[in-house]
Amino acid sequence: MQRLRLKADGRIVEIRDGQEFPLAPVMPVASSAPAGLASDTVPEVRSLRQRARLTQVEFAARLGVPVETIRNWEQGKRMPRGPARALLAVIAHAPETVFAALEGHIGG
C-alpha cells in the first residue's frame, strides 16, 4: 500500500523508508499571467480530460464539480487550487484509480 502526503504547495509525495518522493507532476503556480493564472496550466487540465476521453460534462461529473468550473480552468479564467489541484495531480498519475475510487461517491 502506498503512503501519500499532500504538501502545502499542492505537491503529492510518496513516503518510503521515511523519505519523500514526488509522485505526480507539479501544476505550476502563476507569477505573471493575468488573475494569477499560468498559461501552461490551462492545457494541463484540458489534456488530463482529453487523455481520459471525457467531455467537460463527464469530467465535471466524475470530479463532483460544476461544468463551469472545468470550463473556467480550461479557458484560463480560474486556476485549480487546494484539493482540486491535488486531485488533478493524482489523476495525471493514475486516472483509472482515481475515477474508480470516486465512482459511487460523487454524483455518478
Q: Please, is 12 exposed, middle or buried when counting C-beta atoms within 10 Å of its C-beta (0-12, 13-18, 19+)?
A: buried
Which three cell numbers, joined as nine digits, stand for 88?
488533478
Nearest to 7 by CA among 32, 36, 27: 27
Question: 57-94: per-residue pLDDT in tens?
Answer: 999 999 999 999 999 999 888 888 888 888 898 898 88
pTM here is 0.60
Between CA 62 and CA 87 the distance in angstroms is: 11
Type of residue at 25: P
Question: 48-60: per-residue pLDDT in tens?
Answer: 999 999 999 999 9
Highest mean pLDDT among 6-10, 27-31, 91-95: 91-95
Domains and CATH numbers, the chain: 4-102 (1.10.260.40)
Between CA 44 and CA 88 the distance in angstroms is: 9
Mean pLDDT, the chain, integer: 78
